Structure 1
């Protein structure tokens, strides 16, 4: 089993920040409750209050795939995409063994 990490950023339109914050908090809460989630955070840049970086850690690819089909993800993620004026595609990582 290989742990999966994801990092992606979205730049949210200023007029959408309040709505984004509500949706982001719901997404965090529900994603953290998923069985295969090890960590889920959405971080705001200190230099740009509209820039948010998602950092997710999943038990394995299967857990991540299940997450992508959950009602909360399939409802919230398209809304976040619509609020974004710039997004980076997700980058996936695994840990380097020592």
Structure 2
């Protein structure tokens, strides 16, 4: 049985970059929410900071996440934002604490 997983991805953008990537972020969010195995996928700003975009994700399995990483919409997002990042994206993989 595969275990679901949670992921927080943080993008620290160069000053004034949000407007240049907004459309591709919104497109990726919309299309990702339609993927099999996606439980939750949303992009957020850090409160008061439009230069930090935080994706909160919940996947049914590693297989579902691996599929997502190969989709055209994710590849487009990754390629587009690369030029606007202050430093590489930070990924935090989480496991829920269960009793």
Q: Same fold (TM over 0.5)?
A: yes
Q: Does structure 1 residue 75 correspond to structure 2 residue 73?
A: no
The TM-score with structure 1 as length reference comes to 0.90
Match of 2:30 in 1: 29
- For the 8 Å contact 1:2–1:60, the answer to whether it is kept is yes
**Superposed displacement of residue 21, structure 1:** 1.2
Match of 2:56 in 1: 55
Alignment map for 1:3-18 (pairs within 5 Å): 3-18=4-19
- For the 8 Å contact 1:3–1:95, the answer to whether it is kept is no
Aligned length: 98
**Superposed displacement of residue 66, structure 1:** 0.4
Distance, in Å, in 2 between the alignment partners of 1:17 and 1:58 is: 26
Match of 1:39 in 2: 40
Match of 1:97 in 2: 98
**Superposed displacement of residue 47, structure 1:** 2.9
Secondary structure of the 2:35 match is: coil
> Structure 2: which 5+ runs fail to align?
none
